[in-house]
Amino acid sequence: MTHQGIWVVAEQTVSGISRVSFELLAKARELKEQGGLQAPVTAVLLGENLDDYYSAKLMEAGAEAIILVDHPVLRYFQNETYAAVLKSLVEERQPSIILMGATAAGSDLAPTLGAKLHTGVSAHCVDMRLNEEGHLVAVVPAFGGKVLGDILCTNFRPQIATVRPGILGKVICFMHKQCPVERFDIADILAQDQSRVKALGITYEEMKGVPLEEAEIVVAGGFGIESKEIWQQLETLAAVLGGAVGCTRPPLDEGWAKESQMIGTSGKSIRPKVYIGMGISGATHHICGMKDAGLVISINKDEKSPIFDVSDIRITADAATILPLLIEGLQKNEDDVIC
């Protein structure tokens, strides 16, 4: 087959490059080694003002070749424009595998590109490997993570897959000297771009404390948190522990938590050192998002909660009674040390 090599479509964010891009580069290097592939792992980055910082970062994370597409039009994600650019790049260079983060942009871009190229796309994989024939085997969750299935695309190239941020976890710092950095000109493509969708701007949510997916400690609350006051105590506990607050659907519906705090298949996948679930019963789609946590502590009134089956420490109690005691206990110890 003429298609060769693994591409990672990296994503520019307000503060640099999204972490999942680095996770994908580490995975791409692993796949390359596993399959004994020759072609370099190539990072493709679309954005604006892509200076040396970006290529250095991508190289450090494992890119062996870099294609930068730098243009003011690419400042914000626009599915039509981004897909048109990638389509012409792919048709020209013919990679075998394309990996993207299953971010908001990636989840939209991958299927759009897949349809344009008439090839298969595996959505939000939790793992991937190469089989004996060298085809990509993408492990994809279904039914809220209850079932895992292998997805293959053997007759079409490239094989496209998106991966949820945080699922692969590892970011590796590679020590290598130089890699070719190419700047791809898109003037011709833009000339043909119909641009029926145009971005006007993007507003970032104000982040409180540590981002959920980077926190070492996550305190998450669910249906069993019965009032806003108890929810605020839960936030206090997270602050005392220096952690982040996560949630399931009910606190979000109550308006106590934000969409960006939701853990699960329709939210974020996390792998903190410690996860403390309060009043969370443990529906499959939530468990799918927190199963990789180090120490799992669960507090729930209902002794039959499924979350207890996936917990290291189980406490059958009302979160409302334990919360103030924990906060008090932790703060007291803190003062003791300082005095």
Other C-beta atoms closer than 10 Å to the C-beta of 144 total 16
Q: How far is the CB of 153 from other proteins (least distance, A)?
A: 5
Give the separation between CA 235 and CA 323, rounded to whole angstroms: 10
Q: How far is the CB of 14 from other proteins (least distance, A)?
A: 8
Q: How far is the CB of 202 from other proteins (least distance, A)?
A: 5
Nearer Cβ to other proteins (229/334): 334
Is the CB of residue 250 less than 8 Å from the CB of residue 223? yes
Which two structure tokens, joined as six digits, stand for 218?
A: 């996550």
DSSP label at residue 98:
E
Among positions 3, 4, 75, 80, the unique one binding other proteins when judged by CB under 8 A: 80
Interface with other proteins in residues 166-225 (CB under 8 A)? 196-205, 207, 211, 216-217
Is the CB of residue 224 less than 8 Å from the CB of residue 251? no
Nearer Cβ to other proteins (188/336): 336
Task: Say if residue 160 is exposed, middle or buried (CB neighbours under 10 Å; 0-12, 13-18, 19+).
Answer: buried
Among positions 3, 75, 116, 208, the unique one binding other proteins when judged by CB under 8 A: 116
Orientation of helix 104-117 relative to helix 79-93, angle to 10°: 50
Interface with other proteins in residues 26-55 (CB under 8 A)? none
Is residue 287 a contact point for other proteins (CB under 8 A)?
yes
Give the separation between CA 210 and CA 336, rounded to whole angstroms: 26
142 backbone φψ class: left, alpha, beta (φ>0; ψ -120 to 50): beta
Nearer Cβ to other proteins (32/268): 268
Is residue 305 a contact point for other proteins (CB under 8 A)?
no
Among positions 39, 230, 274, 280, the unique one binding other proteins when judged by CB under 8 A: 274
Among positions 60, 108, 193, 226, the unique one binding other proteins when judged by CB under 8 A: 108
Q: How far is the CB of 123 from other proteins (least distance, A)?
A: 4
Is residue 104 a contact point for other proteins (CB under 8 A)?
yes
Q: How far is the CB of 139 from other proteins (least distance, A)?
A: 9
Residue with tokens 């060298």: 134
Question: Residues touching other proteins: how many (CB under 8 A)?
Answer: 101
Nearer Cβ to other proteins (217/257): 217
Strands of 36-96, DSSP E: 42-47, 65-70
Nearer Cβ to other proteins (28/109): 109
Q: Is 18 helix (H, G, I), strand (E, B) or coil?
A: coil
The annotation places the binding site for FAD at 248-249, 279-286, 300
Among positions 1, 175, 187, 325, the unique one binding other proteins when judged by CB under 8 A: 325
Give the separation between CA 34 and CA 22, rounded to whole angstroms: 18
Among positions 4, 88, 94, 284, the unique one binding other proteins when judged by CB under 8 A: 284
- Identity of the residue numbered 180: P
Which two structure tokens, joined as six digits, stand for 7?
A: 């591409």
Stretch that binds other proteins, among 23-31, 65-73, 90-98, 146-154 (CB under 8 A): 146-154
Residue with tokens 């499959």: 284
Among positions 60, 150, 193, 254, the unique one binding other proteins when judged by CB under 8 A: 150
Give the separation between CA 77 and CA 201, rounded to whole angstroms: 10
Q: How far is the CB of 301 from other proteins (least distance, A)?
A: 9
Among positions 2, 133, 187, 304, the unique one binding other proteins when judged by CB under 8 A: 304
Give the separation between CA 289 and CA 292, rounded to whole angstroms: 8
